[in-house]
A and B are shown apart, each in its own frame.
Chain A
């Protein structure tokens, strides 16, 4: 049981890492990026090409892939999301849904259905572990992922709270019209924010490829885990995202303890319980909306 909790917490670090970019984009731009998981898989394939064809270790490969992801984020905002946003509030979300399908299928066309992993390219690190007690040992890479998640979340929080860029991002998310009057280029700020989000997506893709396997359609479950972790943690709160990732992983671990098939179900149950607790918590406007919807006061 103790072991399940420890492993759950560490897995939660991975979920927090993939959720960080999703929740960052939601909190500062009010966009749920449905291509989040597919783009993470795309980054994993980039690392795979670098490792497989050029013999570049995935850790070094990040030095190439992360700037590329930032560039991709900038372009995504400029050429897709910004245009879509002119057509209405929900259109950018639809656009990312379409983008996810495009990315998935392009990856399938290019790489086929083979399952890949980056683990062979990092040697012992992928399976080495530290023995904590007689019963519990933790994977070194799982610990590394957890540390990376905490570092990414801390960095995002520091950027948002204490830097001029962070102030500009928060001001733009609050009132995009008024920031122009104080000298901030809202378009540029949003493009930078998306670029930052996609850098975290690149890291998440690396973590996915290194800790497990991926194939062209692996993005969807990653999006689901990221979304569940972000919602459980309260979308938009940086530390909540870490807590959300851990809660999701613990739910899954607990589910797996109960029944071998319970892994995913356990996570979904935690997600739904938290979601409904939020909706019906004191002060929530949802119950009143529901009553109005069914025509009762």
Chain B
């Protein structure tokens, strides 16, 4: 079953076409890795799926429902949750309050404060601390926990490893496995290719706003992804073929 379908999506920042004619589908329970160099349009694409940017053209379907024009705060209620780049916690509020804020959409499901603390045990002793005083790993755990509190069908993760030590990233991904096994569909943006390929079942590679490679991780070699990542496949075209 298709959980998420993006069809011919165009997103602009003013004159810049950050996302160009992007189409892909994500099946229920699938983990999709979105890779690409800086500025490839990954974050903009995720934010457009979450509703933080409205597309210039094209559509986003949640299951069979077209949500392209639905504002972000209503998409949360329909089952999309984004863990934004840079975590964007409410720094003046405690970990507990940040988690409770995630509950406002009122979706029913398995996730609650206790389960988040179970998944991220490093938060237990910081439960009443202001989010602004947390370490990077704790902040990331809180941000993911806040998103999970809305019991999403689809979890969008933007650069969860950014600014964290490898050891902490290991722990974050270890905790994420919990939600992967309960069947949550995940789309993750990750700079670290090997980590992305280790957790994802499928990979979409973006370059300059467009999808340049899409495939099952098992069928795709690392070399091919690397080529697509840097746009090397273009220079591999035989002389004269390029316009």
Contacts and interface: CB of A to CB of B under 8 A. Distances in A.
Interface of A: 164, 167-168, 170-171, 174-175, 177-186
Contact of A174 (B71, B72, B92, B150): B92
A182 B91 CA distance: 15
Contacts of B72: 180-181
Interface in B68-83: 71-74, 76-77, 81-82
B101 A168 contact: yes
Contacts of A180: 51-52, 71-73
Given A170-B92, A174-B91, A174-B92, A184 B73 contact: yes
B105 A183 contact: yes
Contacts of A175: 88, 90
Nearest to B75: A183
Nearest to A188: B73
A174 B100 contact: no
Identify the 4 closest CB pairs spanning chains A and B, nearest first: A183-B76, A183-B105, A180-B72, A178-B88
Contacts of B91: 174
A182 B93 contact: no
Interface string B105-141: 1000000000000000000000000000000000000
B104 A178 contact: no
B100 A182 contact: no
B90 A164 contact: no
B97 interface: yes
Nearest to B82: A181
Nearest to A165: B104
Nearest to B94: A167
6 contacts: A167-B97, A171-B90, A171-B101, A179-B101, A180-B73, A184-B104
Nearest to B132: A174
Interface centre among A170, A178, A181, A184 (most CB of B within 10 A): A181
Interface string B135-158: 000000000001100100000000
Interface centre among B52, B72, B103 (most CB of A within 10 A): B72
A178 B143 CA distance: 11
Contacts of A174: 90-93
B50 interface: yes
B84 interface: yes
A88 B194 CA distance: 45
B102 interface: yes
Nearest to A173: B92
A178 B142 CA distance: 14
A181 B50 CA distance: 7
A179 B93 contact: no
Contacts of A171: 90, 93, 101
B102 A182 contact: yes
Contacts of A177: 52
Contacts of A168: 101, 104
B84 A167 contact: no
Nearest to A177: B52
A177 B88 CA distance: 10
Contacts of B90: 170-171, 174-175, 178
A226 B182 CA distance: 54
A171 B150 CA distance: 16
Contacts of A164: 100, 103-104
A185 B88 contact: no
A59 B150 CA distance: 43
Contacts of A184: 73, 101, 104
A118 B18 CA distance: 62
Contacts of B93: 167, 170-171, 174
Contacts of B103: 164
